[in-house]
Amino acid sequence: MACSASQIKRAKQLDALAAVLPMAAADRYAEVLTDADVATLKHLADTGMGANTLRALASDLAYLEAWSLAATGRALPWPADPELLLKFIAHHLWDPNQKAVDPAHGMPDAVIEELWDRRILKVRGPHAPKTVSRRLANWSTLHQWKGVVGRLDDTAVRKAVRLAMKASGRTPQRKSRKPVTRDVLDRLLVTCSGSKAIDLRDRAMLLVAFAAGGRRRSEVAGLKHSQITVADPIKLQPRDPASPTVPCVRIALGRTKTTTAGQGAFVFAAGRAAVALQEWMQLAEITSGPIFREVRKDGFIGAGPLSPQSVNLILKKRCRMAGLDPAEFSAHGLRSGFMTQAGRDGIPLVDAMRQSTHKSVQQAAGYYDEQEHAQSRSVRIDV
């Protein structure tokens, strides 16, 4: 397909956002995004919006534009009218069994094929309710940034979303099938107990990610030397004057999914996590810049940070080495594992949330492993 001059221009502008937009997707985005869309994304990048948030907004905006063209034959209108929003819901939350007997149900086959051919659509079936909710939320956010009043809060739209979500038979999938609790973590640490640079890096990365409240992979990958401060040693038994102490570091969080750079949010990592971090930083001679960096096979330590995806791949590699099924675990398992382990250890939920920086009790409690729930006293109240 020949590219127009405006499309080439948009591709170049998107390349300028390569730090947050996948390079391989720039050309594909340029096909469906308008000049106004690209200008909006550039403005959002200039405001200092987090890379993950901007990446999700860009991806969802490209999808919405492509879907609108395929479904209605016209570019996405700003503001979007309620009828278009209802069409979007009907096209994405539908019953496969009903579509088998009624081809007109759900997203039309012609729309599916067009989006599939353009590599915009990744699943031929109905979308996950969480994906639809996220895209609707981002659609609303983009209305605000474009300076137009959207209708996503329209009564009919909210009712349709609620009913469609309720009718959806899809069970939400965990980002990590199993949590990386302390026993699992210890098995992973055995595989990186050597003295090679890559072992010290992976050991420090796993321990810090877990002990510092189950940090997200983007936070681990983006951790910088300027965020780390050596804190006073802490007592293992705070109320015992004779209690032994362990090293501790303070980690300034900066911008995360739930905090902004100006909030001054921080957590601590103590004991073996603090020791492993200091050992890695000393070996790698890290006095500035990113903490967790590429380590080549010859032991050379790079200057750039790991990518969030690399954090996930490293964890899966260590799972494989430990005799665990990598498909059962992901980097997000460190977060659910921290919360599950906190529950096992009898740590009050509020205390665990202070370290994990969760904002809602419902969200934090949702990370507890299902099997852990089955072992709780509440389940045995009438046994």
- The CATH number of the domain where 354 resides is what? 1.10.443.10
Domain shared by 159 and 192, yes or no: no
pLDDT tens digits for range 10-69: 555 555 555 555 545 556 666 777 778 777 777 777 776 767 777 788 888 889 999 999
Q: Is residue 176 assigned to a domain? A: no
Question: Which of the listed residues 111, 138, 167 is the one where a domain comes to its end?
Answer: 167
Domain shared by 59 and 206, yes or no: no
Q: Is residue 172 assigned to a domain? A: no
Query: Would you call 265 helix, strand, or coil by DSSP?
Result: coil
Query: Would you call 175 helix, strand, or coil by DSSP?
Result: coil
For residue 17, which of 64, 2, 47, 292 has the smallest C-alpha distance?
Answer: 47
Residue type at position 381: I
Domain shared by 205 and 344, yes or no: yes
Q: Is residue 131 assigned to a domain? A: yes
DSSP string of 257-299? SS--GGG--EEEEETHHHHHHHHHHHHTT-SSSBSSEEE-TTS
Question: Which of the listed residues 133, 167, 201 is the one where a domain comes to its end?
Answer: 167
Q: How far apart are the C-alpha atoms of 382 and 93, rounded to whole Å?
A: 39
Q: How far apart are the C-alpha atoms of 157 and 65, rounded to whole Å?
A: 19
Q: Is residue 14 assigned to a domain? A: yes
Q: How far apart are the C-alpha atoms of 196 and 298, rounded to whole Å?
A: 10
Residue pair 161/89 in contact by the 8 Å Cβ criterion: yes
Q: What is the domain count for the chain?
A: 2
* Residue 77, token pair as written in the block: 């209108």
pLDDT of residue 247: 92
Domain shared by 195 and 255, yes or no: yes
Q: Is residue 174 assigned to a domain? A: no
pLDDT of residue 368: 60
Structural domain range at position 346: 182-369
Q: Is residue 33 assigned to a domain? A: yes
For residue 44, which of 31, 32, 60 has the smallest C-alpha distance?
Answer: 60
Query: Would you call 298 helix, strand, or coil by DSSP?
Result: coil
pLDDT of residue 321: 97
Domain shared by 143 and 235, yes or no: no
Residue type at position 240: D
360 membership: H or E segment, kind and range = none
Domain shared by 192 and 119, yes or no: no
Q: How far apart are the C-alpha atoms of 12 and 19, rounded to whole Å?
A: 13
pLDDT of residue 23: 45
Domain shared by 246 and 274, yes or no: yes
Domain shared by 161 and 194, yes or no: no
Mean pLDDT by 10 residues, the chain (383 residues): 56 55 58 76 72 80 91 90 88 82 87 88 82 87 82 75 67 72 96 94 97 92 93 89 91 70 78 95 95 92 90 95 94 91 86 87 68 61 59
Question: Which of the listed residues 135, 167, 199 is the one where a domain comes to its end?
Answer: 167
- Alpha-carbon torsion angle 184, 185, 186, 191, nearest 10: 100
pLDDT of residue 175: 66
Tell how strand 228-235 and strand 245-252 pair up.
antiparallel
For residue 61, which of 21, 3, 15 has the smallest C-alpha distance?
Answer: 21
Domain shared by 78 and 220, yes or no: no
Q: Is residue 377 assigned to a domain? A: no
Q: Is residue 378 assigned to a domain? A: no
pLDDT of residue 159: 79
Domain shared by 79 and 188, yes or no: no
Domain shared by 126 and 84, yes or no: yes
Domain shared by 262 and 304, yes or no: yes
